[in-house]
Amino acid sequence: MIFFHIFLTVLSFVSFVIIFKFFKIRSKYGHLPGPKSNGLIEFFFGQYFDIYKFLSENNFIEDLQLIWSKKFGSIYVYQFFHQMICITSDEDIIKKILIEKDLPKKPEIYNIVGYPFGERFLGSGLVSEINKEKWRARRALFNHGFKKNSLLQSIEEFNAKGNKLIQKLNLIAESKKSIYMFDEFNRMALDAIAKIAFDLELDSIGNQESELNSFITYGLHGLTLKMTDPLSEIRPSNKKLIKEIKQSIRNLRKFSAEQLRNIIEKFEEDSPISNTIFSNILRHAKSTDDMDFEIMIDDFITFFIAGQETTANALSFCILELGQNERVLKKLKSEIEEILGCKNNISNEDISKLNYTAAVFKESLRKWPPVAAFSRFNPEEIEFGGKLIPKNTWFYVSPFVMSQSEKYFPRPDEFIPERFISSEPFAKENKITSYTYFPFSIGPRNCIGQNFAILEGKLILAKFIQHFDFTLDPYQSLKVVERTTLRPIDGVKVYLNPKI
Ligand code: HEM
C-alpha cells in the first residue's frame, strides 16, 4: 500500500511539472495569433489531431498552414505537442531568418533526416550537418564541385540521359500504354546524378527493377513517416514497414560504401578520372585520408536524396500543369519548335534562348516547390515586425506558403509562366524577389545543386515537348501529397504520341 501512495505522489508531481512546463511555454506565445489549443487533450497535443486528420485525407501539411495563414495573417504560431511552430509569409521576416540572422537548422528535424528510426541515413551529410563550423568547411570544399563552368560541360551527359529517356518513352508510346511520368523522370534523374557527380553508369532508365532506386524510395518514405507522425514507431500497423525501411537504409549504405571505395581507389591510382563533381571535390581536399569515410557515404547518399526526387517532381509538376493549360503548352511548343527544331543535342547556347521554357520551369517550382518547407530555430529571443518571438521557436520556412500569397503572386492558384518574364505586363503585378520566391532556399545554406537542377529541368522538359504530344489520363487524381518532397499523388499518368 505504501508503494502505491509513493507511486501516486511521484505521478502527481511529474504531472504537475509537465503541466507547469507546458503552461509556461504556451503563455509566452499568448500575444501571437494562431489556432488555439482547447481542452485537456489539446493542452498536451496542440494541433496534432487536426494535422493527423488533414494528412490522412491525402493532404499535405503546408496546405493546412496556408489555410491558417489566410486566417491568422503573415506571422502566426501553432502548437505541436510541446513545440510552438511559427509560420510566416512576410518577405522581411524571411530575409531576417535566412540571411540577416542566418538562424541555425533545427537539430531535432535534421537529426531525423540524418538518422530516421535510429538508422544512419544522411548522417552528417551536407544537408543535415548542423554544426556551422563543420558545415562551412565542407561547403567551401564542395563548392569546387559545383562550379558553373564544369556544370556547363555536363550538358553532353544530360543530353545522353535525355535521349535514352526519349528512346524508352517512344517504345512505350508505340504500345499505346499509359505511363507514369514521375517514375520515368525519377530514373532519369538518378542516372544523371550518378554519372555527373560520380561517373557511375547505373542505367535505371533501362532497368525497371533498379535496386538503388528502391532503397532510396524506402529511405524517403521513412523520413516522411518519422517527420509527420512522431507516434509512428508505436503504431503496431507500422512495424513491418519500419523494419523494411531500416533494412533498405542499411542496404543503401552498403551499396554506397562499395561504390565509393572503387571511386577513391581509381582516384588514388591516378587513373584518368573524368571531370565529375566528386572528383573535383576530391582534387581540392588535402588528402582523401583526411575525409571521414562514413561522412563521405553520408554525402554520397545526400547527393542522390537531395537531387533525384526534387528534380523528378519539378518535371512531373510541369507535365501535370501543361496537361491542364492548353494556352501555356501551345506557347511552349512553339518556342521549342522554333529554337530546337529536330535537333538531337541541345547546346548551352540553345538553353540560354529557351526563355519561355525557363519560365514554365520556374512557375512549376513556384506553384509546387518540391521542398515545400525547411526548419530553423532561434537560440535567442528575436523581434519581428514589433512582435517578440520567444527563444527556441521552431520556424517552419515554407516556399509553398509564401508562393501562394496574393500579395506577392496575384492569382496564385493559376499556372502563369508570364509572371517570370519581365517584358510581360503581368510580371509587373507580381512582387518576385529572392525573399518571396525561394524554391532552392536562400542565404548560406541554399541549394548547392540549383544550377544543376535548373539546367537538367529545362533540357529534359524541352526534349520531352520536342518529341511528344501528350494527354493526361483523365481518371487519375490530380492531388498533391508530401513524401519528403511534394509530389503528384498519382505520379502523372499520361498517354504519349510521338512527334518526331
Ligand atoms: C528542383 C530541384 C531541387 C530543389 C527544389 C532543391 C531544393 C533545395 C532546398 C530548399 C535546400 C535547402 C534545404 C534546407 O535548408 O534544409 C537544398 C539544399 C541542398 N540541395 Fe537542393 N534542390 C534541388 C536539386 C538539387 C540537386 C540536383 C542537388 C545535387 C546534385 C542538390 C543538392 C543539395 C544539397 C547538397 C543541399 C544542402 C546544401 C547545404 O546545406 O550546404 N539539390 N536544396
**CA nearest neighbour of 216 among 110, 308, 127, 151:** 308
Instruction: Judge if the beta carbon of residue 193 lies within 6 A of ligand 1.
Output: yes
DSSP string covering 424-441, please? SHHHHHS---TTT--TT-
Instruction: Judge if the beta carbon of residue 98 lies within 6 A of ligand 1.
Output: no
Instruction: Judge if the beta carbon of residue 373 lies within 6 A of ligand 1.
Output: no
- Cα(451) to centroid(ligand 1), Å: 10
447 annotated among ligand-binding-site residues:
yes
* Whether the Cβ atoms of residue 94 and residue 400 lie closer than 8 Å to each other: no
Give me the interface pTM, i.e. the ipTM. Answer: 0.99
Identify the pLDDT of residue 271.
63
- Cα(45) to centroid(ligand 1), Å: 32
Query: Atom 41 (ligand 1): residue with closest C-alpha?
Result: 445
Identify the pLDDT of residue 24.
73
- Backbone phi, psi, residue 75, to 5°: -145, 125
Q: What is the DSSP letter of 84?
A: E
- Cα(300) to centroid(ligand 1), Å: 14
Identify the pLDDT of residue 131.
96
340, three cell numbers: 530546337
Query: Which atom of ligand 1 is closest in space to residue 485's alpha carbon?
Result: 5
Query: Which atom of ligand 1 is closest in space to residue 399's alpha carbon?
Result: 10
- Cα(274) to centroid(ligand 1), Å: 24
Query: Atom 26 (ligand 1): residue with closest C-alpha?
Result: 307
- Cα(297) to centroid(ligand 1), Å: 17
Backbone conformation region of residue 485, classed left if phi is above 0, alpha if psi is from -120 to 50, else beta: beta
Identify the pLDDT of residue 443.
97
Residue 358: exposure state from Cβ atoms within 10 A (0-12, 13-18, ≥19): buried
- Cα(446) to centroid(ligand 1), Å: 7
Site to probe by mutation for ligand 1, drawn from 97, 371, 447, 461 as the one with most ligand atoms within 8 Å of Cβ, is: 447
Instruction: Judge if the beta carbon of residue 447 lies within 6 A of ligand 1.
Output: yes
Cα separation values, 274 from 154, 157, 257, 267, 291, Å: 11, 12, 20, 10, 21
Instruction: Judge if the beta carbon of residue 455 lies within 6 A of ligand 1.
Output: no
Q: Which domains occur in the chain, in start order?
A: 45-498 (1.10.630.10)
Identify the pLDDT of residue 82.
87
Identify the pLDDT of residue 42.
85
- Cα(439) to centroid(ligand 1), Å: 9
Alpha-carbon span 441 to 434, nearest angstrom: 9
Which residue carries 569546387 as its cell? 144
Instruction: Judge if the beta carbon of residue 126 lies within 6 A of ligand 1.
Output: yes
Identify the pLDDT of residue 188.
97
- Backbone phi, psi, residue 86, to 5°: -110, 130
Longest dimension (CA), the chain: 88
Query: Atom 21 (ligand 1): residue with closest C-alpha?
Result: 447
Query: Which atom of ligand 1 is closest in space to residue 197's alpha carbon?
Result: 30
Identify the pLDDT of residue 288.
63
> Using a CB cutoff of 8 Å and minimum separation of 24, what contacts does 63-72 make?
63/400, 65/396, 65/398, 65/401, 66/400, 66/401, 66/404, 68/34, 68/35, 69/401, 69/405, 72/33, 72/34, 72/35
Cα angle, residue 258 at apex, residues 255 and 264 outer, rounded to 5°: 135
* Whether the Cβ atoms of residue 86 and residue 76 lie closer than 8 Å to each other: yes
Instruction: Judge if the beta carbon of residue 440 lies within 6 A of ligand 1.
Output: yes
Cα angle, residue 381 at apex, residues 378 and 383 outer, rounded to 5°: 100
Identify the pLDDT of residue 377.
97
Q: What is the mean pLDDT of each run of 10 residues along the chain (500 residues)?
A: 74 73 79 90 89 91 97 96 94 97 96 95 97 95 91 94 97 93 97 95 88 90 86 90 95 96 85 78 76 93 95 98 98 98 96 98 98 97 93 96 97 98 98 98 98 98 98 96 93 94
Residue 354 DSSP SS3: coil
